[in-house]
Every structure is written in structure tokens, then in C-alpha cells.
Amino acid sequence: MLNIIYIFSRFICFILVRVFFRLKVFYRYRIPRKGALIIASNHASFLDPVILGVVSPRVLNFIARDDLFLNRFFGTMISFMGAFPIKREGGSSGAFKEALKRLKEQKALVIFPEGTRTKNGSLGKAHSGVGFLAARSEGIVIPVYIDGSDSALPRRRLFIRFKPIKVYFGKPLGYKDTTKIERRDAYQTFSDLVMENILVLKSNV
């Protein structure tokens, strides 16, 4: 049931995104077709998960804010789309356990290292979560930069504007803890490296 709903929804969204946002995708070939995968993207708009779901050749799993599940109908629908909740105020261990479970099953997971939408398309500081997941799952990390979603649907705006959107996939990164520092600091160091790669993608736009 999940794949049927996901594939049908992705097809509909793909048509809409191509028509209204003139979507262009670069370096999609860098996405491995199998194995544990973490897609680590910048986050400036509510459109970002939809855009990533459309452009990825693989079925994606998403960590979503827990308040999005308060509406039973909407919560059920995004669950079918591979989303699962994370508590915004602490208590995120359950979400990370579920994320690791799905990565261990060789699935693909989307994570926004900044943790929340940033303002004006700027890049924020990464949290250590992407480093933790990469280390524990031994999955490949693909940095991604989405350009234009903040113009199409900025923060605190209710109406979508039909602006061009481009998606750039970076080179795969693998977690290697070769340092002598504390493990949590090593997770943060890797997360910072991911954000540096996203910044490189942005600078080449």
C-alpha cells in the first residue's frame, strides 16, 4: 500500500512541480540505487520534502515534526508517504531509533541537518544528528542544495509563488571517525562537513 500511494503521489507532484516551478535537477546520477542512504539537504521551505520526493529515484523516508501528525487524516497520509514524527522539544531518541531501523533495512532517509527552515534561503548551522545517523548506520550521505524553494514558498507565507526551483546533488560522503575526540564532537564534525559540501553546491549555482 505504501509504495502504491507513494508512487502515485510522486507522479502527480512531479507533473505539478515541472509545470509550475520549471524544475531542473543536476547530478542525480550520484544517488546510489540501493543500500542505506541519507539525503542531507538545506531547508528553507515546506516545499523541500515534496521536491526531494519528486526528484529522487528511490522511495524516501522523512523525519517530520510531531505536530504534523495531530490531524489524524493528514498524519495517516504522510505516514503512507514514509514520514515518522520527531518531537521538537527534546525526546527525539524514538525518532532516531526509527531512522536507524529504516537505514539498517537499506532504505533511503531524508534529514535536514539544520533542523528547521532557515530564513531567506541562508544556510544555518548543522546539528549533530546527521553525523550520528551516518556513523551508526554506515550509510552513504548525499549533500543536496535546493535553490529557489524559499522564493516559491517563504517562511510565514501562505500562498505559493511560481518561481524556478533547481536541485543539486553533491558527491557521496562516508562517515569515518579517525579522530581522537569525543564521539559526539566527531558526529558534529561530520555534520559540519556535510554543511560545507552543501555550501559548495550553493556557491556553484
Active site residues: 43
Residue 168's beta-bridge partner residues? 26, 145
Q: How far is CA 153 from the centre of its chain?
A: 17
- Cα first-last separation, the chain: 38
Distance CA 166, CA 153 (A): 14
